[in-house]
């Protein structure tokens, strides 16, 4: 087959034959149907309807309307050549009030059954995330959601049980939480995501950025562990699936690599961002010493039972990552609301080298050099096979694009370059012996990027959000990735 793309011949067949690839999404970002067929409210429904919280004033009421258009979406994914699809379940669509004794919404179950069946009928393997940030609002109102570990945990366990019971005969790849760190930092430290709590009273009425993020993170780790324990004991023997958690983490590089204090600061930043969750799960079994030293009692402690349950609970390392930053040490004590390890974050290093070229998203720059280091850091520290569950970019200039016809394709060289470099690093890491089992691009279609609304277009499919049926148009990168994985995956 002739191709418009050329690929590195040294990477041909670098990925194993059973490597899974596709796209990742999250229910609130794509589904729409926010109050249809018995769905209860999530904290993101309420947050989106609060004036001033979302950049473009939008809500996720309709999003991409994937709830209605899932069949066409699955057909498009098949055309894009994916082997797998990662999506999340909306807790409040399945249990509208969220609690352990609250009723199940059969219409919600039916929707996900239809989606799962459609995927399987098209030869696409589902990877299902139980929680992608959309806590049922009723639980937030009842007892403060994840701030209350004792009340929250049984509710999350029961929700997970319903999912395993109803979908586990066909779903074999489970993810408990998506990016617990971003949920807690953006929602409870910065207060810019739902549920919108922080110490900053110009932004949020309630909250305490110096304690709540660590409390919520603890609840996530512990409730995750109970759910894994239940899955392994009650479901895995017959359903034969696997369960993991997905952590976020960008690469932290020293600002001045000749300054030992910056080298230390960069490692501390990695620990505050990644090892915060990963050490208890895959490493020492406890929070990193650098965090305990800075945070003292503000960092919760695990009971012996919690420690035992958390360590080893996640069978694989679910990894989301996008970019890199330079870290410089700060002299003097850390601010009470610091959660980065007392560092100054830079876009350039001391020599003036940029971390990467800009995307359409301020924090996100193309930096495959850091991604390559991160893969090795995670593998070296945790020795756990990695599933890459998210990676991708926005690109400038996609807002004003005007399709010339229904089959028009948006040219997105910036995204193609990003994927070429990042996925190439995955292939090289595999050649070195690092075990990487999947790659999910973020994301399938442009969607609702949380507090950035519809302003960040991460998709390999362009969506006309003005149109009634949220019309989709392929971007060139979708076809690029299809051919690229065709080149990289070994065909035994
Ligand atoms: C991480 C999150 O899981 C996802 O929801 C978000 O849209 C992307 N990163 C891009 O910011």
* Closest C-alpha among 389, 321, 375 to residue 84: 389
Domain assignment present for residue 151? The answer is: yes
**Is residue 28 domain-resident?**
yes
Nearest CA to ligand 1 atom 2: 179
Domain housing 160? 9-488
What CATH number has the domain bearing residue 468?
Answer: 3.20.20.80
Residue 366 and residue 417 in contact, taking contact as beta carbons nearer than 8 Å: yes
Q: Among residues 155, 219, 211, which one has the least CA distance to residue 188? A: 211
Task: Report the chain's mean pLDDT, rounded to a whole number.
Answer: 98
Residue 457 lies in a domain: yes
CB 142 within 8 A of CB 126: no
pTM over 0.85? The answer is: yes
Ranges of the chain with pLDDT below 50: none
* Residue 320 beta carbon below 6 angstroms from any ligand 1 atom: yes
Angle 149-167/212-230 helices, nearest 10 degrees?
40
Residue 1 included in any domain: no
* pLDDT value of position 492: 79
Q: What is the pLDDT of residue 422?
A: 99
Q: What is the pLDDT of residue 2?
A: 62
Is 442 part of a structural domain of the chain? Answer: yes
Q: Which atom of ligand 1 is nearest to the CA of 361?
A: 11
Sheet containing strand 343-346, edge to edge, reads 251-254, 324-329, 343-346
Beta-carbon contacts of 65 under 8 Å, excluding residues fewer than 6 positions away, are: 31, 32, 33, 469, 470
Q: Which of 31, 118, 179, 425 is catalytic?
A: 179
Say if 3 falls within a structural domain: no
What contacts 32, CB < 8 A, 6 or more positions away? Answer: 60, 61, 62, 63, 64, 65, 66, 67, 68
Number of folded domains in the chain? 1
| 106-120 residue pLDDT tens | 999 999 999 999 999
Parallel, antiparallel, or unpaired: how do β-strands 365-366 and 357-358 relate?
Answer: antiparallel
Cα angle, residue 418 at apex, residues 416 and 420 outer, rounded to 5°: 65
Q: If we measure between CA atoms, which residue out of 75, 77, 126, 81 comes closest to residue 488?
A: 81
**pLDDT confidence of residue 1:** 52
pLDDT at position 3, please?
80
* φ, ψ at 33 (rounded to 5°): 50, 45
Residue 57 lies in a domain: yes
- In a domain, residue 4? The reply is no
pLDDT for position 4:
86
Residue 45 in contact with ligand 1 by CB distance below 6 A: no
Q: Which residues of 439-478 are buried (b: 16+ CB within 10 A; e: fewer)?
A: bbbbbbbbbbbbbbbbbbbbbbbbbebeeeebebbbbbbb
- Centre of ligand 1 from the C-alpha of residue 391, in Å: 9
390 is catalytic: yes
Q: What is the DSSP string of 396-428?
A: TT-TT---SSTT--B--HHHHHHHHHHHHHHHH
Minimum-distance ligand 1 atom for the alpha carbon of 322: 9
Q: How far apart are CA 167 and CA 228, in angstroms?
A: 16
């Amino acid at each position: 087959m002739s191709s418009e793309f050329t690929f590195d011949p040294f990477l041909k067949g670098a990925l194993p034959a059973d490597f899974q690839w596709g796209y990742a999404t999250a229910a609130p970002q794509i589904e729409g149907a926010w109050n249809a067929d018995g769905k209860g409210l999530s904290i993101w429904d309420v947050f989106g309807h609060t004036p001033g919280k979302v950049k473009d004033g939008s809500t996720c009421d309709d999003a991409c309307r994937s709830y209605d258009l899932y069949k066409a979406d699955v057909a498009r994914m098949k055309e894009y050549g994916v082997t797998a699809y990662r999506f999340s379940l909306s807790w409040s669509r399945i249990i509208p009030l969220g609690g352990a004794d609250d009723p199940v919404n059969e219409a919600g179950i039916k929707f996900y059954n239809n989606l799962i069946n459609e995927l399987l009928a098209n030869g696409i393997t589902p990877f299902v995330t139980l929680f992608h940030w959309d806590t049922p609002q009723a639980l937030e109102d009842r007892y403060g959601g994840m701030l209350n570990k004792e009340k929250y945990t049984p509710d999350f366990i029961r929700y997970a049980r319903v999912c395993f019971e109803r979908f586990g005969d066909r779903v074999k790849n489970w993810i408990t939480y998506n990016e617990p760190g971003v949920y807690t930092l953006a929602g409870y430290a910065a207060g810019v995501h739902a549920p919108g709590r922080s110490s900053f009273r110009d932004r949020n009425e309630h909250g305490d950025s110096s304690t709540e993020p660590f409390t919520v993170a603890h609840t996530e780790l512990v409730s995750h562990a109970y759910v894994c324990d239940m899955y392994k004991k009650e479901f895995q023997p017959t359903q034969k699936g696997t369960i993991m958690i997905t952590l976020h983490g960008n690469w932290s590089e020293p600002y001045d690599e000749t300054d030992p204090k910056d080298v230390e600061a960069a490692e501390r930043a990695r620990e505050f961002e990644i090892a915060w969750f990963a050490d208890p799960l895959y490493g020492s079994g406890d929070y990193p010493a650098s965090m305990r030293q800075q945070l003292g009692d503000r960092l919760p402690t695990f009971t012996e039972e919690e420690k035992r349950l958390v360590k080893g609970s996640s069978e694989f390392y679910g990894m989301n990552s996008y970019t890199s930053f330079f870290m410089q040490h700060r002299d003097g004590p850390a601010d009470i609301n610091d959660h980065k390890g007392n560092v100054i974050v830079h876009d350039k290093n001391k020599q003036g080298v940029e971390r990467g070229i800009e995307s359409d998203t301020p924090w996100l720059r193309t930096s495959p050099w850091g991604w390559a280091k991160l893969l090795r850091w995670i593998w070296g520290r945790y020795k756990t096979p990695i599933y890459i569950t998210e990676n991708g970019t926005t690109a400038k200039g996609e807002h004003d694009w005007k399709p010339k016809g229904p089959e028009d394709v948006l040219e997105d060289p910036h995204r193609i370059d990003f994927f070429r470099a990042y996925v190439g690093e995955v292939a090289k890491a595999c050649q070195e012996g690092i075990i990487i089992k999947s790659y999910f691009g973020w994301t399938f279609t442009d969607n609702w990027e949380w507090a950035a609304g519809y302003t960040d277009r991460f998709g390999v499919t362009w969506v006309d959000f003005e149109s009634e049926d949220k019309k989709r148009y392929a971007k060139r990168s979708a076809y690029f990735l299809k051919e690229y994985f065709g080149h990289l995956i070994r065909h035994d």
